[in-house]
Structure 1
Amino acid sequence: MRVIIMGCGRVGAELATELDEAGHEVVVIDRDPAAFARLPEQFGGRTVTGLGFDREVLVDAGLHGADAFAAVSSGDNSNIIAARVARETYGVERVIARIYDAGRAEVYERLGIPTVATVPWATGRLIRYITSGSSPVVWRDQTGEVSLVAVVPPPVWVGTTLASLAGSVGGTAVALTRFGECRVPDGGTLAQAEDLIHLAVPSAVVDDLDDIVKRGPADD
């Protein structure tokens, strides 16, 4: 798949590197050419110097027909403008923006643009959102029996309890991140679109996790 990344800071460089190593076609945009030094020497993607919300720059980067666009520069306004241009003008299906202000994140999520905040799981969530197939495991205990996984609920689970979602894979919901804020959910917490849910699950189910979750709630 072809992925356009705006911003070559720490998150942008890590994201570009992981996607490139996974065999995807990656183009990185940054207004400062020195920023590309964060990319490894073996980086096989392309770099474009310019403002990531400039349409000529986006065309040069190959946004037409791109599979995904990630706006992860250091500016909230630049990120959301670029994300909206990618979504509304070029029709890119998977668009995500990094937002520093958690208060703004809620507004942008309501516009239909998923966001990530400046938290440790930012790169991981970006990878999972863009590729929809990367491993969800973020931690595993020393015995290998229990894994902590991060999942974004498919539409079929929206409006159902996190307890039901966790129970479908024999696990427990231990944390919920919504609009950049993390908390411990209770038994009645309902899943919303673009939530990031951390589940403690038996490691034996990890390989089949995506397939199980996509089936949705079991019929009564």
Structure 2
Amino acid sequence: MRVVIAGAGAVGRSVAAELLENGHEVLLIDKSPQAVSVERVPEAEWLLADACEIAALDEAALERCQVVIAASGDDKVNLVVSLLAKTEYGVPRVVARVNHPKNEWLFNDAWGVDVAVSTPRLMSALVEEAVSIGDLVRLMRFSQGEANLVELTLPEGAALVGTRVGEVAWPQDTALVTIIRGARVLIPDPDDALAAGDELLFVAAPASEGRLEDLLSPRGQKRPREDPGDRA
């Protein structure tokens, strides 16, 4: 897979190194001569250019890319790169870095973004995930299709403890993706019984999150509903 990364800072270089280890072809673009440090990721292609300019993206042959990652430290740059990648070059998958949470609402399909990754929000979500039991934690938002990756650790006393996965009437637009049980990662099977302490990962529509949290809460403890936007 050919991947172009706009922004060769610490984030862009780290992503490039991971992708190269997994056998992908990577091109890093940055307009700063100081950022273009070929020796740091020698296996990658490098281009000293402004990724917001059509001429630079033509030189990068974006039409041959399967993925573009807008990873600069400037949200305006990341939005422009995402929009150009999607509308001018038809890149199938565009991933964009969100630097400031207040700008997160802009990173959607209107700007060509398929997946928005907010570093501050991801860090706070990981903290919540580590300490929260029985509370739904939003880990990632998928811009395309308006779905979220959410997690909940099933608490003691939850109504569904001991219930088989196939017997649960999950809310509409909700899919149980995996169950993490201790050191094991389980692909959900209809005959699997849910256990207290299971870490459940779902892909769910924002409108379904409140019903999902109610369903997984301890018996008789309905949680106060909130506007899904409050979690964003």
Normalising by structure 2, report the TM-score: 0.56
1:67, distance to aligned residue in structure 2 (A): 0.4
Equivalent in the alignment of 1:133: none
Equivalent in the alignment of 1:91: 90
Matches within 5 A, 1:25-174: 25-37=25-37, 40=40, 43-109=42-108, 111=110, 113=113, 114-119=115-120, 121=122, 174=136
User: What is the one-letter code of the residue matched to 2:68?
Assistant: F
In structure 1, stretches of 5+ residues that fail to align are: 123-137, 139-147, 150-171, 180-191
Equivalent in the alignment of 2:150: 197
Say how many residue pairs are matched: 156
What is the CA RMSD across the aligned residues, in angstroms? 3.4
Change (3 A) 1:48 1:173: farther
Q: Aligned equivalents of 2:122 and 2:36: distance in 1?
A: 22
Change (3 A) 1:36 1:174: farther
1:64, distance to aligned residue in structure 2 (A): 1.1
1:63, distance to aligned residue in structure 2 (A): 0.6
User: What is the one-letter code of the residue matched to 1:175?
Assistant: V
User: What is the one-letter code of the residue matched to 2:116?
Assistant: T
Equivalent in the alignment of 1:10: 10
Change (3 A) 1:49 1:38: closer
Q: Aligned equivalents of 1:37 and 1:77: distance in 2?
A: 23
1:175 aligns with 2:174: no
1:198, distance to aligned residue in structure 2 (A): 3.7
Of structures 1 and 2, the larger Rg is shown by 2
Q: Aligned equivalents of 1:120 and 1:36: distance in 2?
A: 28
Question: SS at 1:197's partner residue?
Answer: strand
Q: Aligned equivalents of 1:76 and 1:51: distance in 2?
A: 15
Q: Deviations over 1:23-47 (max 9, x none)?
A: 1000000001221338635x31100
1:62, distance to aligned residue in structure 2 (A): 2.0
1:197, distance to aligned residue in structure 2 (A): 2.5
1:98, distance to aligned residue in structure 2 (A): 1.3
Equivalent in the alignment of 2:230: none
Structure with the larger RCO, 1 or 2 (CA within 8 Å, 6+ apart): 1
Q: Deviations over 1:130-160 (max 9, x none)?
A: xxxxxxxx9xxxxxxxxx89xxxxxxxxxxx
4+ runs of 1 displaced by more than 6 Å? none
User: What is the one-letter code of the residue matched to 2:28?
Assistant: V
- Asked if structure 2 preserves the Cα contact closer than 8 Å seen for 1:5 and 1:69, the reply is yes
1:107, distance to aligned residue in structure 2 (A): 2.6
1:174, distance to aligned residue in structure 2 (A): 4.8
Question: SS at 2:17's partner residue?
Answer: helix
Question: SS at 2:46's partner residue?
Answer: strand
Normalising by structure 1, report the TM-score: 0.59
Q: Aligned equivalents of 2:122 and 2:33: distance in 1?
A: 26
- Asked if structure 2 preserves the Cα contact closer than 8 Å seen for 1:31 and 1:51, the reply is yes
- Asked if structure 2 preserves the Cα contact closer than 8 Å seen for 1:86 and 1:92, the reply is yes
